[in-house]
Amino acid sequence: MIRLLVVDDDYSIRTIMQEAFSEKKYNVKVCESGEQALNIIKKQEFDLVITDLMMDGISGLQLMEDALKIQENLGFLIITAYGTIKTAVEALQKGAYDFVTKPFSISHIKSRVDRFIEFEGLKEENRKLKKKLSFEKKFNKLVGKSDGMKMIHEQIEIVADSDAPVFIQGESGTGKELIAQAVHDNSNRRNQPFIKVNCPAIPETLFESTLFGHEKGAFTSAIRTYKGLFEEASEGTLLLDEISEMPTSMQAKLLRVLQEGRITRVGSAKEIPIDVRVIATTNRDIQETINEKKFRSDLFFRLNVFPIVVPSLRTRPDDIPVLMDHFIKKFKDKYNYEKKELSKETMEVLSRRQWPGNVRQLENLVERAILYSGKKEFLTLSHFSLEPDNMQKETDYFEGGIVSIAEMEKKLILKTLEKTKNTRTKAADILGISVRTLRNKLNQYKEEGVPIPGEN
């Protein structure tokens, strides 16, 4: 229902307007002065104020200026005499929607109100469209329409402009790095550096120097002064990717830096203040890693100010068709094919599959399919080179009863390794994970006492 406030010191005009607009679609309130109107506006919201321009005390123009400070989206329709049109035009310049000159007919003023309602509807539609386009632009690399992905988008919106550390957890291939990039891109640090650190790739002896830098001569190979990655990321964002792989000896030093906001280069006693937003990721069960004394709980609590848990692809099947379309377009353009489409039957089969390698595995298979398809316009199952062990029915993974997701993953990895005759590169490719991730998983299973194919 449209909420109208009529302000006029002429009793007859107030009465006529109230009668004219007291219909089902209007909720009308009237008052005789600008002072009364302001008191009402402070207590109640309106869509449109119809006010006389010239009144004793607060004028219609002053009423509008004061009321817009209270309700910034409030509409104003000004009633003016012929001799004050210049002032009415001034009112338009200051935010009024329109003005009506006296004498006026009720049908005429009704048509102006109807136009205002239509205009506001178009404005609202335009606002929604702009918001939608802005949203899509913000998250154009995060493909998906499932509830899980919508929640990720909302979390990024909430945390982006803060300086709070973000801790992103999710299986390999779920897009943790893309989410970290989205947090940075939508923050007020977006024009500053975004530095990524691949923790498993750094030798333990070089960790401190890599992060905090070193002075010339600090150790044998330190032939020059080196700014660490914390300094390189100054005023920007530092992504500590797979932080659970960081040596425990380094974790205490990182905790101190996060607590104090200062670093010390290796070979120096001088403390350097830093302004860096830290985002950390892990593909491990972090609580289990803490329980195993491989990750400090105090460091986790320092990093886990704003947690984001990334859902695996198997929990969001609605995203598979969207991702397929996205990757087909990406690789069609990359390899300069004019047209590539997925047959309906192929889409149905792929949508029912389990994807242990998550989005990365799906992306790899699509790229491979595009290459296999050559000049053919339609992609079929034959182009995806799905190996038989990758097409097993779900029941194959539940031998002996219902098992946990971790147990299913273990069985799939060991089975794939067996089928590839212990060729880890090929097994990782089929699973859609990195060789490093496969190695970490196998080491974990070995510690649990599980026999690893190809190892005595």
Equal fold, 2-128 vs 314-447: no
% of the chain with per-residue pLDDT over 90 = 38
Give the CATH number of domain 314-447.
1.10.8.60
Higher pLDDT, 409 or 255: 255
Spatial separation of the C-alpha atoms in residues 278 and 172, rounded to whole Å: 20
**Which of 360, 229, 195, 362 is closest to 283 using CA atoms?**
360
Spatial separation of the C-alpha atoms in residues 122 and 130, rounded to whole Å: 12
For the cut 80, the answer to whether the pLDDT of residue 330 exceeds it is yes
Spatial separation of the C-alpha atoms in residues 339 and 376, rounded to whole Å: 9
- Contact between 353 and 318 under an 8 Å Cβ cutoff? The reply is no
For the cut 70, the answer to whether the pLDDT of residue 397 exceeds it is no
**Which of 174, 170, 104, 102 is closest to 359 using CA atoms?**
174
Question: If you average pLDDT over each of 192-196, 427-431, 441-445, which comes out highest?
Answer: 192-196
The residue with tokens 């690399």 is 141
- Contact between 188 and 175 under an 8 Å Cβ cutoff? The reply is no
Residue 393 — very low, low, confident or very high, per pLDDT cuts 50/70/90?
very low
Check whether domain 2-128 has CATH 3.40.630.30, yes or no: no
**Which of 262, 257, 279 is closest to 166 using CA atoms?**
279
Residue 95 — very low, low, confident or very high, per pLDDT cuts 50/70/90?
confident
The neighbour count for residue 351, using CB atoms within 10 Å, is: 13
Q: Nearest 5°: phi and psi at 117?
A: -60, -45
Per-residue pLDDT at 396: 42
Strand-pairing partners, residue 29, are 5
Listed by start position, the domains of the chain span 2-128, 147-311, 314-447
* H runs (alpha helix) in 206-357: 207-212, 229-232, 248-260, 286-291, 297-303, 319-334, 344-352
Residue 455 — very low, low, confident or very high, per pLDDT cuts 50/70/90?
confident
Q: Please spell the DSSP secondary structure of 349-407, one letter per residue.
A: HHHHS--TTHHHHHHHHHHHHHHHHTT-SEE-GGGGT--GGGG--GGGGGTTS---HHH
Which of the listed CATH numbers 3.40.50.300, 3.30.750.24, 3.40.50.1980, 2.60.40.10 matches domain 147-311? 3.40.50.300
Spatial separation of the C-alpha atoms in residues 265 and 268, rounded to whole Å: 5
Using a 10 angstrom Cβ sphere, with 0-12 exposed, 13-18 middle and 19 or more buried, the burial of residue 197 is: buried
The neighbour count for residue 280, using CB atoms within 10 Å, is: 28
Spatial separation of the C-alpha atoms in residues 323 and 339, rounded to whole Å: 17
Higher pLDDT, 142 or 31: 31
% of the chain with per-residue pLDDT over 70 = 91
Q: What is the pLDDT of residues 259-283, one digit of tens each?
A: 999 999 988 888 999 999 999 999 9
pTM of the entire structure? 0.57
- Contact between 332 and 407 under an 8 Å Cβ cutoff? The reply is no
- Contact between 81 and 107 under an 8 Å Cβ cutoff? The reply is no
Q: How many residues does the chain have?
A: 456
